[in-house]
Structure 1
Amino acid sequence: MSEPLGTVPDEDATPDPDSPEGLGRAASPVTDAAVQRSREPLSRRLVLVNAVGLIDEEGLAALTMRRLGARLGVEAMALYRYVTGREDLLDGIVELLVDDLYGDPDVHMEADVWQEYLQRLAHGVRRLALAHPLVFPVVATRPPAAPWVRPPLRSLRWMESFLEQLQRSGFSDWAAVESYRAFSSFLLGHLLLEVSARGAEISPVEQNPPDTPRRTDLSSYPRLQALEPELSQDHSAEVFDESLEALLDRLEVTRRTR
């Protein structure tokens, strides 16, 4: 559990295994790549990596094209070859962090046991959140590629992997979709609380009004294509009630065992 603001961590305590300190290294390849900014030619990835680094060090409010250009040693206008503006920059940051999961050796695209798959994936997302607590709210609040894509696992490729894994493990279409919603809600709620305790601003990121939604190309994602009608349905009230009932059941067990 993260330390409350204003407290001094116990130096003798065991570090959180998902934190950079617990891992004994940067918890994200994005963090490692930031040190290379002076040796690489300018590219979209380098711009995004350093945008993440700037937010990590100074907070989201510090992210401007001028400040980012200065960090990279170029004029702000030079960045527009790689990002079209702040909105594209924020979208790119989200894609960069979520794609970082593919480089995590402890996260697998498939597993023999579905519980192991979800545990590895959940801890991988948590490692990203703890490595970049000031950036994680951007992942949580940016408009997704499609209205039924839920943060923080906002990747069509990961959604396809998730649904495939659960269906292969015996989940029906309905059960797989409901599990995706419940899993996303658990991760988002828990991790936003954690990064907030680490000083992150979790209010929605300022952004331009969304354009008319465009059709998402799902031709490479057969399960998403088949389940799009179910994914598009709003079951927020049911998911909330079921999660609340599960919490109450857990609290009753706690009451009886103490």
Structure 2
Amino acid sequence: MGARKSREPLSRERALAAAIALVDAEGLAALTMRRLAAGLGVEAMSLYYHLPGKEGLLDGLVEAVIGEIEVAVGRAEATAAGGDWRTRLRGRFLAARAVMLRHPWAPALLSSRPTIPVGVYGYYDGIIATLRDGGFSYRIAHRALHAFGSLALGFAQEVFRPAAAGGATDVEAAETDLAAMAEALPHLTAMVAAEAHAAEDPTLGWCDSQTEFEFTLDLLFDGLERARE
């Protein structure tokens, strides 16, 4: 008789990795403690030892994504070692965005959590350190953080984000509504018609494309350079 294959013990890391894989494939609405437990081959109650309920699970997902950002940014920082502040911050923010593009559900989840994950503080401390190394005062660094907003974490926080409440943006319905109001909203309608996103331009929302993300970064960096001078 062959030796019985031992089952990998359940851990917080293993549970979160499985949860991320599930949400990447099917979205946040598919994530339940029961569904996750079934995928791991354990009883649902076993998960509670590592993740205290659904809210604890969601907090864990955010922490895991922040951890991915820290790793990605570490690589970007190593690549940009010796570069100026602008090169380093650009690499940092684009590395964070690459993580968000892998997990397009993460921006809405991060925006909805009632507490700030501990890892975020260290992440922003690194941004301030980069600005200080670049010759900026703490006053300008503080104002820069306000200007960057969620761009620092790799996404643009849109005005309307139904996904933050568990929904989704119905782009076709929104565009139909806009077309119906074209006479009353000529400039908004014309802008949307002129600014259709290219199919190859990765997006995280109705109006959060890679091209617009990088344009906004460069605009902010130009402004910061003038403020420093």
Normalised by the size of structure 2, how large is the TM-score? 0.61
2-side partners of 1:120 and 1:39: how far apart?
Answer: 40
Equivalent of residue 102 in structure 1, options 70, 74, 82 = 70
Does the 8 A contact of 1:101 with 1:107 survive in 2? no
User: Residue 43 of structure 1 aligns to which amino acid in structure 2?
Assistant: S
Equivalent of residue 81 in structure 1, options 23, 44, 49 = 49
1-side partners of 2:30 and 2:150: how far apart?
Answer: 29
Does the 8 A contact of 2:28 with 2:105 survive in 1? yes
* C-alpha deviation, 1:202, in angstroms: 2.2
Is 1:116 equivalent to 2:87 in the alignment?
Answer: yes
Per the alignment, in what secondary structure is the counterpart of residue 76 of structure 2? coil
Distance 1:190 1:128, change over 3 A: closer
Distance 1:181 1:141, change over 3 A: same
Distance 1:190 1:74, change over 3 A: closer
Length, aligned pairs only: 162
* C-alpha deviation, 1:39, in angstroms: 6.7
Equivalent of residue 146 in structure 2, options 181, 196, 202 = 181
Bigger relative contact order (CA 8 A; separation at least 6)? 1
* C-alpha deviation, 1:111, in angstroms: 4.3
1-side partners of 2:150 and 2:107: how far apart?
Answer: 15
Does the 8 A contact of 1:44 with 1:82 survive in 2? yes
Aligned to 2:24: 56
Aligned to 2:99: 128
* C-alpha deviation, 1:140, in angstroms: 2.6
Aligned to 1:172: 137
Per the alignment, in what secondary structure is the counterpart of residue 41 of structure 1? coil
2-side partners of 1:55 and 1:182: how far apart?
Answer: 31
Aligned to 2:125: 160
Structure 2 unpaired stretches of 5+: 1-5, 168-215, 221-229
Aligned to 2:223: none
* C-alpha deviation, 1:78, in angstroms: 0.5
Structure 1 unpaired stretches of 5+: 1-37, 207-242, 248-258
Segments ≥4 residues shifted beyond 3 Å: 109-112, 185-193
* C-alpha deviation, 1:203, in angstroms: 2.7
User: Residue 48 of structure 1 aligns to which amino acid in structure 2?
Assistant: L
* C-alpha deviation, 1:123, in angstroms: 0.9
Distance 1:181 1:205, change over 3 A: farther
Aligned to 1:66: 34
Does the 8 A contact of 1:43 with 1:82 survive in 2? yes
Percent of pairs identical after alignment?
A: 37
Aligned to 1:203: 164
* C-alpha deviation, 1:141, in angstroms: 2.1
2-side partners of 1:158 and 1:56: how far apart?
Answer: 24
User: Residue 203 of structure 1 aligns to which amino acid in structure 2?
Assistant: A
Question: How big is each residue's C-alpha offset from its partner over 1:221-255, in whole Å with a ceiling of 9 and x where there is no partner?
Answer: xxxxxxxxxxxxxxxxxxxxxx9xx79xxxxxxxx
Larger radius of gyration: 2
Per the alignment, in what secondary structure is the counterpart of residue 116 of structure 2? coil
2-side partners of 1:155 and 1:186: how far apart?
Answer: 13
